[in-house]
């Protein structure tokens, strides 16, 4: 097994995840099977309990693991499916070590960071890499070199490097090359970052430099001199027009050839699928404007997978999707302000938890339904669509979800088998689950299948008591998992599709999610001249 370890210095948010994913993509383009692991130094067991404002979206994996959003980038760039084991946190590591100590696995020894914690980390890295069946394992160490939280992980990968063959572990360090007011590229932050890394016993084999403009040859030579790497190992990762163009940028910088040589490998292939996708994205003509009505819109990373899924669909349709982030609470404060939605080609209501912003989402959905505006609802976006329909079509003014309010018409409720269970984790539907689609429905046409598997992250369900009445009034449930409603649509509407699952988690640049593709196509067709 070959390991490519990616660390970061100077400051957080430089793009280690995109760098790691892009390196994986160019290795895959050369004919190698690649997997990825994200190390998060926080003490949380996983990202499931974190606010999106804290860490961006929670990305749900096929086995129900709730993980850092970088695992979504790995899945999209590498076109693979990962599991909860591919996200290693301090919480998971320490929990495992403490459980072993309580069982007596350490035979009375004093349990310490070295060797017990570092051994646990190495064991997890090796197990995940081996079980993946891949040839190369990317490992992104979260945080910034010098952070106290990441010290055990950096020590663990140092030991891993010493224990494996020389050509089997390569270190990539991502740093910042800022520019002063005169436009000169400054290397001192990179020098200090690499110095910090070397004090920990780690030596970078490649330095990826983030800069607004291409890093100049003289700057590269200076970094190479002071950081003890060849100049060709200093890679410019200057700002790109789109993240999907980063693999090409790294390839043009010679990253693939140098990385393969350090790993003792040769190129097996030269797959151009990614290049064709990027070229198609560049040549897109026309555009659509979509309003995303959510509650975490101040931080776009809260809806990262939705943004990327809209982009994937736009690439396939041949148009640019301009995403506009609207705060659902604004429609609560000014109920008559939904007229501002007129200028958008479609409306999307994403998932979320809690009552805040819910009434604003319901108002936006009503506007979409009554004005024949293409609508896509995801998770809570389906539940609020059901609530809106019950209120404004069936006439149940107090219709609501029992999760959000006490109501005489709980059209969204716990199913009988869930009642009495108070442990949220025990009743959350997480990860892959199937749905049977109604033949001839919009859902079956979009998917081209009568059975699908999609990822979930929710607890409450559509109340079966109201299904017949709603379907009689025009809201059809065309995707079902036994007594659970998975898809709702309105036949005859330009496009009205809502899912209890999260299709955005399985969308790929070369394989867009069917609901997103149908939604963008409906918006694009709407814009075409009659």
Residues 117/94, Cβ–Cβ less than 8 Å: yes
Number of domains present in the structure of the chain: 2
Q: Look at residue 324 in the predicted model and tell me its pLDDT.
A: 96
416 and 397 in contact (C-beta within 8 Å)?
no
**CATH (domain of 468):** 3.40.50.880
Q: Tell me, what's the pLDDT at 354?
A: 87
Domain shared by 353 and 271, yes or no? no
**Boundary-marking domain end, from 249, 277, 305:** 277
What lies within 8 Å, CB to CB, of 345 at 6+ separation is 288, 289, 290, 374, 523, 524, 526, 527
Please identify every stretch of the chain with a pLDDT value under 50, giving residue numbers as ranges.
421-426, 529-530
Give me Rg for the CA atoms of the chain: 25
Q: Do 265 and 335 fall into the same domain? A: no
The per-residue pLDDT of the chain, averaged, comes to 94
Closest CA to 304 of 345, 351, 347: 351
The residue to which tokens 């409306």 are assigned: 347
Please indicate whether residue 192 is annotated as part of the active site: no
- What is the model's pLDDT at position 528? 62
Tokens of 423: 């442990």
- E strands present in 240-297: 287-294
What is the CATH number for 256? 3.40.50.300
Same domain, residue pair 254 and 304: no
Residues 212 and 340 in one domain: no
pLDDT the model gives residue 530:
45
The secondary structure of 321-381, three-state, reads EEEEEEEHHHHHHCHHHHHHHHHCCEEEECCCCCCCCHHHHHHHHHHHHHCCCCEEEECHH
pLDDT per residue as tens digits for the range 312-345: 999 999 999 999 999 999 998 887 899 999 999 9
Whether residues 181 and 290 share a domain: the answer is: no
Tokens standing for residue 329: 């609470």
Tokens of 457: 């992250």
pLDDT tens digits, 7-18: 999 888 889 999
Q: Are residues 467 and 430 in the same domain?
A: yes
**Residue 86 and residue 198 in one domain:** yes
Candidates 379, 403, 454, 458; catalytic one? 379
| Structure confidence at residue 426 (pLDDT) | 44
Handedness of CA 53, 56, 57, 61 (dihedral sign): negative
Query: CB of 508 within 8 A of CB of 305?
Result: no
- Burial class of residue 357 in the structure, from the number of CB atoms within 10 Å of its CB (0-12 exposed, 13-18 middle, 19+ buried): buried
CA atoms of 385 and 364, how far apart (whole Å): 10
Q: Please indicate whether residue 502 is annotated as part of the active site.
A: yes
**Final residue belonging to a domain, choices 245, 277, 309:** 277
Same domain (yes/no): 326, 242: no
Give the per-residue pLDDT at 141. Answer: 97
Note whether 292 and 272 are same-domain residues.
Answer: no
For 81, phi then psi, to 5°, come to: -120, 130
Q: Are residues 392 and 507 in the same domain?
A: yes
Give the domain-ending residue among 220, 246, 277. Answer: 277
Domain that holds residue 317: 285-527
> Could you tell me if 329 and 220 lie in one domain?
no
pLDDT of residue 353: 87
DSSP labels, 187-234 = -HHHHHHHHHHHHTT---SEEEEEESSPPPHHHHHHHHHHHTS-GGGE
Q: Give yes or no: residues 304 and 218 share one domain.
A: no
DSSP 8-state secondary structure symbol assigned to residue 505: G
Residue 379 is a catalytic residue: yes
Residues 6+ apart with CB under 8 A from 513: 309, 312, 313, 503, 504, 506, 507
Q: Residue 156 in contact with residue 141, Cβ under 8 Å?
A: no
CA distances from 359 to 30, 51, 229, 262 (A): 50, 20, 57, 56
Q: Quote the CA–CA distance of 28 and 509 in Å, as a whole number.
A: 15
What is the C-alpha separation between 321 and 308, in angstroms, rounded?
Answer: 10
Q: Please, which residues have CB within 8 angstroms of residue 370's CB and are 6 or more apart in sequence?
A: none
């Amino acid at each position: 097994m070959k390991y490519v370890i990616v660390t970061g210095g100077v400051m957080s948010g430089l793009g280690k995840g995109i760098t790691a994913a892009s390196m994986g993509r160019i290795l895959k383009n050369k004919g190698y099977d690649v997997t990825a692991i994200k190390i998060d130094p926080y003490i949380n067991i996983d990202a499931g309990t974190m606010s999106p404002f804290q860490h961006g979206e929670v990305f749900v994996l096929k086995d129900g693991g709730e993980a850092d959003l970088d695992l979504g980038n790995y899945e999209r760039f590498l076109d693979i499916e990962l599991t909860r084991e591919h996200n290693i946190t301090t919480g998971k590591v320490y929990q495992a070590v403490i459980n072993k100590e309580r069982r007596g696995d350490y035979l009375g020894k004093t349990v310490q960071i070295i060797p017990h914690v570092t051994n646990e980390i190495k064991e997890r890295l090796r197990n995940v890499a081996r079980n993946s069946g891949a040839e190369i394992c990317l490992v992104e160490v979260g945080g910034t070199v010098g952070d106290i939280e990441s010290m055990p992980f950096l020590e663990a990968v140092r030991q891993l490097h010493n224990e494996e063959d020389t050509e089997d572990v390569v270190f990539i360090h991502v740093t910042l090359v800022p520019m002063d007011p005169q436009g000169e590229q400054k290397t001192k932050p990179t020098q200090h970052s690499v110095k910090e890394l070397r004090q920990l016993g780690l030596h970078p084999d490649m330095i990826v430099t983030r800069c607004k403009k291409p890093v100049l040859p003289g700057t590269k030579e200076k970094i190479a001199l002071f950081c003890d790497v060849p100049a060709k190992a200093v890679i410019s990762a200057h700002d790109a027009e789109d993240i999907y163009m980063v693999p090409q940028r790294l390839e043009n910088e010679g990253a693939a050839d140098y990385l393969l040589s350090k790993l003792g490998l040769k190129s097996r292939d030269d797959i151009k699928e990614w290049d064709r996708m990027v070229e198609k994205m560049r040549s897109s003509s026309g555009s659509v404007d979509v309003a995303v009505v959510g509650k975490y819109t101040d931080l776009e990373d809260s809806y990262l997978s939705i943004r990327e899924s809209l982009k994937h669909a736009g690439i396939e349709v041949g148009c640019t999707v301009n995403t506009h982030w609207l705060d659902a609470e604004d429609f609560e404060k000014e109920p008559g302000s939904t007229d501002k939605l007129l200028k958008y080609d479609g409306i999307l209501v994403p998932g979320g938890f809690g009552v805040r912003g819910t009434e604003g989402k319901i108002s936006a959905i009503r506007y979409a339904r009554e004005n024949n505006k293409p609508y896509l609802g995801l998770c809570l976006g389906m539940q609020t669509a059901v609530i809106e329909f019950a209120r404004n079509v069936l006439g149940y003014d107090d219709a609501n979800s029992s999760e959000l309010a006490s109501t005489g018409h709980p059209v969204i409720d716990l199913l009988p088998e869930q009642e009495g269970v108070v442990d949220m984790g025990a009743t959350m539907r997480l990860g892959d689950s199937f749905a049977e689609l109604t033949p001839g429905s919009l859902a079956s046409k979009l998917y081209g299948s009568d059975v699908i598997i999609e990822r979930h992250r929710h607890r409450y369900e559509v109340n079966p008591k109201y299904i017949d009445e709603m379907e009689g009034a025009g809201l059809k449930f065309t995707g079902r998992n036994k007594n659970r409603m998975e898809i709702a649509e309105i036949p005859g509407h330009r496009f009205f599709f809502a899912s209890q699952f999260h299709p955005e988690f399985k969308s790929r640049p070369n394989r867009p999610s069917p609901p997103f593709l149908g939604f963008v196509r409906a918006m694009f067709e709407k814009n075409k001249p009659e």
